[in-house]
Amino acid sequence: MEIRQVLYKDEYWDKLIDFVKNSSWRESPIIAKNWEKNNFLDWERIFVAIEDNNIAGHCSLNEKDSVPDVEYTPYIQAVFVNEQFRGKRLSEKLILCAMSYAKTLGFEKVYIVSDHKNFYEKYGFIKIDEGNDYRGELQSIFVQKIQ
């Protein structure tokens, strides 16, 4: 399993967009549409897990997330692992890769917005806040200090 950064029109770009469009997660159509627009800040990145030339999962590091009007940044978002690769802590590997990259940018903390209970806590994240996302759904905001 390899984790790598994928930038607009890189070798895996089109494969990534197809993967996101066809994944089972309800957020996938929104993520695919946003990523296709390539409206990334210079430092924002997508991280992809690849096995046998196939995409197994992804996450990204972005300035903002779905809860508006909060001061936190950067966010690890769009954490998704294809069903056949779950249970192997691939989410953790993706998150650690994004955190490592955030550290090179000088960030001391990263944040995650999620409605999952007891998921990100097992990776060391602590709930610090909550707010309504663009759908009006209550989300938790988690933080972790980068080691």
pLDDT tens digits, the chain, 147 residues: what are they?
899 999 998 999 999 999 999 998 888 999 999 999 999 999 999 999 999 999 999 999 999 999 999 999 999 999 999 999 999 999 999 999 999 999 999 999 999 999 999 999 999 999 999 999 989 999 999 999 998
2-145 is a CATH 3.40.50.970 domain: no
Query: What's residue 51's pLDDT?
Result: 93
**This prediction's pTM:** 0.94
Residue 141's CB is within 10 A of a number of other CB atoms, namely: 20
Query: What's residue 115's pLDDT?
Result: 93
The four Cα atoms 41, 97, 31, 68 give a dihedral, to 10 degrees, of -60
Question: What strands lie across the sheet with 54-62, from one edge to the other?
Answer: 2-6, 45-51, 54-62, 75-81, 109-114, 138-145, 126-132
Query: What's residue 145's pLDDT?
Result: 98
Query: What's residue 20's pLDDT?
Result: 96
* Every domain of the chain and the residues it spans: 2-145
